[in-house]
């Protein structure tokens, strides 16, 4: 017990607490289809806001909405036009209104560094693009040297890098982001944000020359707007995005990798660096899945114990947790470079239809890719396999119920929602321990990272989650300590 008291008494400073927020990251084309055309849409998302709120999330992050030749809606044809398969701008405003009525937030993913040859810039604003020749006939390739991209449906589009040095491009982005701020969004995810775009040495010092001026101008429109950077280097902690790029949040990629490792030393080092060294007022978005990664259930070999440890660390470690749609069900899926050839279909297995029903069929199933190729022939959706909302709602031992319980704990105890992460050392090489500390209370979290039972007798406080005597294989225990800092 002495070890815990020393750690608690050593903690003397709180700083700014994190927002009490849990993000639900939606790939909307695959979420819920309201009009029966097989495409997930904005009206469908509105119909499922009750589900999201009952689950316990407080914010929704959408992937891009603008018109594009590609199913994922990156590489815009028209930045101001909502993809018709999602609905209209009126549908988007209705969604924003309903989200705000529930006191939730909405974030929109934006990527404006590239365009396809269907975009008017290709012909009408040629000076908005980067070229490899003075005659402006050869647009510069994007990352990996790509000059064109092929969609899962066989459509091929030329792509080009946007000249972020051009003052007209900055002005356009100010209008575009401002347009969605006026529509009521609470913030933006900045996709593939880089200081040296695609590491080509053509567009450098972009944090200073493009991003910081853009974000400053948008904050003059709405001082409360939130900017979340997806750092292009996933091995980075992203601190330069705070200092030079002036964003509010970055994604905790290194922490995500450490969680997956189930290695105590790696997890301790990543958590300390990621969560304990944050600049004041900045946040890390903590996640274990996103639309570019294999599903966590697949990465851990569908081990139910590991899935629960992943859930606990995702939601209890600190920062702003983000849940990728279907993660709470343990949905499966793995993509990979060139798995299905040179096509954007390679990521479809990571973005399959949310499994509402045991049969994987029924009203609202967003099976937009059904019968379209090898990615469908090897679909991860298997009827009556225990992975669906319908099945897991009925099973109190399901992963979905585990997420519901963890999210309920966050709402009940301030330390678990907004408390600062504080490392706790212990001699067991398989048990990872940490405190979450707020002014109201403190919580001790103990996680068994191994498939073996672990004896761990030191347990201060009142147990609110988990076992009583020992930590079972991949067991998680949470104890609350009241009034430690009054």
Neighbouring C-alpha atoms within 13 Å toward the C-beta of 193:
30
Confidence check: pLDDT of 300 > 60: yes
Neighbouring C-alpha atoms within 13 Å toward the C-beta of 327:
33
Tokens of 297: 């259930």
Confidence check: pLDDT of 13 > 70: no
Question: Could you identify the residue written with the tokens 């947790």?
Answer: 321
Contact assessment for residue 309 and residue 473, using Cβ atoms and an 8 Å cutoff: no
Residues 6+ apart with CB under 8 A from 343: 150, 151, 152
pLDDT at residue 276 in the model: 84
pLDDT at residue 144 in the model: 84
Mean pLDDT, rounded, for 474-482: 91
Tokens of 123: 């012909």
**CA separation for the pair 474, 219 (Å, rounded):** 44
- 208-222, 254-268, 306-320, 469-483: lowest mean pLDDT where? 469-483
Tokens of 30: 């695959």
15-46 residue pLDDT tens: 444 578 999 999 999 999 999 999 999 999 99
Confidence check: pLDDT of 343 > 60: yes
Q: Measured between alpha carbons, how far is residue 216 from residues 151, 182, 304 in Å? A: 36, 16, 45
Task: Please state, rounded to an integer, the average pLDDT across all residues of the chain.
Answer: 92
Confidence check: pLDDT of 484 > 50: no
Provide the pLDDT confidence category of residue 366 given band limits of 50, 70 and 90: very high
pLDDT at residue 469 in the model: 74
- Maximum distance among all alpha carbons in the chain? 75
303-334 residue pLDDT tens: 999 999 999 999 999 999 999 999 999 999 99
Identify the H or E element spanning 59.
Answer: strand 59-62
pLDDT at residue 270 in the model: 95
**CA separation for the pair 460, 119 (Å, rounded):** 61
Confidence check: pLDDT of 89 > 60: yes
Residue 323 CA, chain-centre distance (Å), reads 6
Paired sense of beta strands 462-465 and 476-482, if any: antiparallel
**CA separation for the pair 20, 137 (Å, rounded):** 51
Paired sense of beta strands 148-150 and 114-116, if any: unpaired
A 10 A CB-CB count for 31 gives: 23
230-277 residue pLDDT tens: 998 877 778 899 999 999 999 999 999 999 999 999 999 999 999 988
Provide the pLDDT confidence category of residue 457 given band limits of 50, 70 and 90: low
Mean pLDDT, rounded, for 336-362: 95
3-state DSSP assignment of residue 368: coil
Please list the residue range(s) of the chain that carry CATH number 3.20.20.80: 20-112+167-419
Task: Choose between 133 and 62: higher pLDDT.
Answer: 62
Classify domain 20-112+167-419 at the CATH class level: alpha beta
Burial (Cβ within 10 Å: 0-12, 13-18, ≥19) of residue 231: buried
A 10 A CB-CB count for 485 gives: 16
pLDDT at residue 463 in the model: 84
**CA separation for the pair 342, 40 (Å, rounded):** 25
Confidence check: pLDDT of 344 > 50: yes
CA dihedral sign, ordered 115, 116, 118, 121: positive
Contact assessment for residue 401 and residue 392, using Cβ atoms and an 8 Å cutoff: yes
Tokens of 295: 């599903």
3-state DSSP assignment of residue 256: helix
Q: Measured between alpha carbons, how far is residue 333 from residues 76, 77, 242 in Å? A: 26, 29, 32
Provide the pLDDT confidence category of residue 430 given band limits of 50, 70 and 90: very high
Question: What does the chain come to in residues?
Answer: 486
């Amino acid at each position: 017990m002495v070890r815990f008291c020393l750690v608690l008494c050593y903690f003397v400073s709180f700083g700014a607490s994190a927002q009490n927020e849990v993000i639900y990251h939606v790939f909307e084309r695959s979420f819920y289809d309201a009009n029966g055309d097989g495409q997930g849409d904005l009206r469908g998302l509105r119909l499922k806001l009750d589900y999201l709120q009952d689950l316990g999330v407080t914010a929704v992050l959408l992937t891009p909405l603008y018109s594009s030749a590609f199913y994922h809606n990156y590489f815009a044809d028209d930045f101001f036009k909502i993809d018709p398969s999602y609905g209209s701008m009126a549908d988007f405003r209705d969604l924003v209104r309903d989200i705000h009525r529930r006191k939730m937030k909405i974030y929109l993913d934006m990527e404006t560094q590239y365009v396809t040859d269907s975009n008017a810039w290709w012909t009408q604003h040629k000076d908005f693009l980067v070229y490899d020749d003075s005659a402006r006939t050869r647009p510069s390739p994007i990352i990996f040297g790509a000059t064109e991209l092929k969609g899962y449906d066989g459509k091929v589009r030329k792509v080009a890098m946007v000249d972020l040095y051009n003052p007209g491009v900055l002005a356009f982005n100010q209008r575009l982001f401002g347009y969605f701020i006026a529509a009521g969004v609470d913030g933006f995810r900045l996709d593939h944000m880089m200081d040296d775009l695609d590491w080509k040495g053509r567009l450098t010092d972009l944090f200073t020359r493009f991003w910081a001026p853009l974000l400053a101008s948008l904050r003059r429109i709405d001082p409360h707007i939130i900017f979340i950077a997806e750092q292009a280097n996933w091995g980075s902690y992203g601190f330069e995005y705070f200092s030079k790029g002036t964003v509010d949040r970055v994604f905790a990629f290194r922490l995500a990798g450490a969680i997956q490792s189930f290695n105590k030393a790696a997890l301790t080092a990543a958590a300390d660096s990621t969560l304990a060294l944050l600049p004041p007022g900045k946040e890390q978005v903590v996640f274990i899945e996103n639309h570019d990664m294999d599903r966590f259930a697949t990465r851990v070999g569908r081990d139910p114990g590991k899935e629960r440890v992943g859930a606990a660390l995702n939601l209890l470690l600190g920062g702003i947790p983000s849940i990728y749609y279907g993660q709470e069900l343990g949905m499966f899926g793995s993509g990979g470079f060139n798995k299905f050839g040179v096509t954007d279909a390679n990521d479809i297995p990571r973005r399959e239809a949310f499994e509402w029903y045991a049969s994987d069929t029924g009203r609202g199933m967003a099976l937009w890719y059904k019968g379209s190729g090898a990615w469908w022939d090897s679909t991860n959706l298997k009827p009556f396999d225990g992975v669906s909302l319908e099945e897991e709602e009925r099973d109190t031992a399901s992963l979905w119920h585990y997420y519901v319980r963890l999210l309920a704990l966050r709402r009940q105890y301030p330390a678990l929602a907004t408390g600062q992460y504080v490392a706790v050392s212990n001699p067991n090489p398989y048990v990872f321990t940490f405190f979450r500390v707020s002014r109201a209370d403190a919580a001790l979290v103990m996680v068994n990272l191994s498939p073996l039972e672990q004896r761990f007798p030191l347990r201060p406080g009142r147990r609110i989650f988990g076992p009583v005597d020992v930590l079972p294989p991949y067991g998680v225990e949470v104890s609350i300590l009241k009034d430690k800092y009054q």
